[in-house]
Amino acid sequence: MMELNPGMTLSPVYLEIFSSAGRILVFFVAILAQIYLIARIRQTLRFPRRSGNFRSRAVAAAGTAVVLLFALGGYVMATPISWVDPPRAVQLLIFYLPAVWVVGSISSALILIMFRGAGDLGRRAARIRRDRTGKPVDAVVDTGRRRFLQAGAGALAVAPFVLSGYGAAYAGRAYEVRELALPFGRTLRVVQLTDIHAGLFMTRQDLRRYADQVIALKPDLFVLTGDYITNSIAYLPECVEEMARVSARYGTFATLGNHDHWYAESGDLAAIFRQHRIPLLRNAHRVIHTPVGPFAVAGIDDLHAGQPDLEAALRGLTPAIPTILLSHRPEIFPEAAEKGVALTLAGHYHGGQIKLSLPRRAISVAHLRSPYPEGLYRIDEARLYVSRGIGTSLTPVRLNARPEVTVLHLS
């Protein structure tokens, strides 16, 4: 658990600038990766026993495939598509395959560039040694060594596609039930789901599996902390319907995330939650009475896409009533801690979604953007837990950031 200074946070303006600049940078890097891979394919495709026309056609076919995969992947990531529960074959070929290609191609191009750079450094070192010693470099080409290096480069180039496929096909669904015990002043078993992102990569079948898992955990309180859809409200009714199957002792409560605001009207969102009798807490709270005393569940609107008002959410609550604050984004934590909120639950960052773990720290876009990318944090007696969530955004690939169903044992 991390101890944080209350002033340790990033301004919303900085976060939005960083986010926009980061998306533009990734877009251009992705385009350059496609150009580089096409060039490498052109260099690699040699057919000594075939005509030049055959080679040209083979290169053109490979280049066309690269462009189509990249274009389709970009279209799926950027365009709201309201195709609810598409056939499995369509889902795999039209949606998953291009998405895996986009992620794998960027990493593959970077690896090939580094591999080639290492080879250039080796040749330069050999020339420097020759110039200094006056000894000629052996002109005999070791064809076996060359084939070995070419095979190694090929394996390295393919590895990112294998990892991306794994991250989409298995790691994105191999969720973890994360349990932790926290002091709160009331004995409760709370289950949190966040960042569901119902859509092309989170189908009704997936939603049902997660709802069944929550039901099996028998929560006293079930909380949902935003981003129920990816890019279309068409997926929200079945998502809320599945979540409404959970019957918790003290009820189910929800708050909204940025994707919900981006792709749906507030009135439509509220109507769907109201239809399924799930209270939507937007700058509001509910006091719940238990045999050992009351506690409160408060919810705040999304910090960037909504109209957040923490004062309104907590108005009327006293320090004698332990409070759980639901916030899609975790950056409200220092202010919530200052106001005496015992526990803040958030998500938004997916634990990085695609994350590299180093000995001293983890690296991902989320870890660069926020001081609260995942896990447990503490300011004095106040605590924040940021769940990795269960869905994905932009790409269905998760690497080193498993989906998470969070169980909090409060006492």
CA distance 342 to 319: 9
H helix or E strand, kind and range, residue 360: none
Where does the chain hold its CATH 3.60.21.10 domain(s)? 176-410
CA distance linking residue 81 with residue 83, whole number of Å: 6
Do the strands 404-410 and 188-193 form a parallel or antiparallel pair, or are they unpaired?
A: antiparallel
pLDDT digits (tens, 9 = 90+) for 145-160: 556 555 566 677 788 9
According to the model, what pLDDT value does residue 21 have? 66
* For residue 9, pLDDT beyond 50: no
Largest separation between any pair of C-alpha atoms in the chain: 90
Would you say residue 75 has pLDDT above 50?
yes
State whether CATH 3.90.550.60 applies to domain 176-410.
Answer: no
Task: Determine the 3-state secondary structure of 329 from DSSP.
Answer: coil
Q: Which of 48, 97, 102 is nearest to 394 (CA)?
A: 102
How do 176-182 and 404-410 pair as beta strands?
parallel
Alpha carbon of 345 to those of 31, 80, 87, 283, 314: distances in Å? 37, 28, 35, 15, 15
Rg (CA), the chain: 26
Q: d(Cα 52, Cα 23) in Å, to the nearest integer?
A: 40
Q: How far apart are the first and last CA of the chain?
A: 18
Q: In the structure, what pLDDT confidence band is assigned to residue 7 with cuts at 50, 70 and 90? A: very low
> Which stretch of 159-173, 193-207, 210-224, 304-318 has the lowest confidence by average pLDDT?
159-173
> Cα(146)–Cα(154) distance, rounded to whole angstroms?
12
Segment 338-365 mean pLDDT: 93
Under a CB-based contact definition with an 8 Å cutoff, are residues 374 and 349 in contact?
yes
pLDDT at 138 over 60: no
Residue 24 is predicted with a pLDDT of 79
Beta bridge partners of 258: none
Residue type, 121: L
Q: Which ranges in 191-232 belong to alpha helices (H)?
A: 204-217
Look at residue 240 and tell me whether its pLDDT is greater than 50: yes
Q: Which tokens belong to 60?
A: 């053109």
Query: Residue 54: which pLDDT band, with cuts at 50, 70 and 90?
Result: confident
**For 81-103, what is the mean pLDDT?**
90
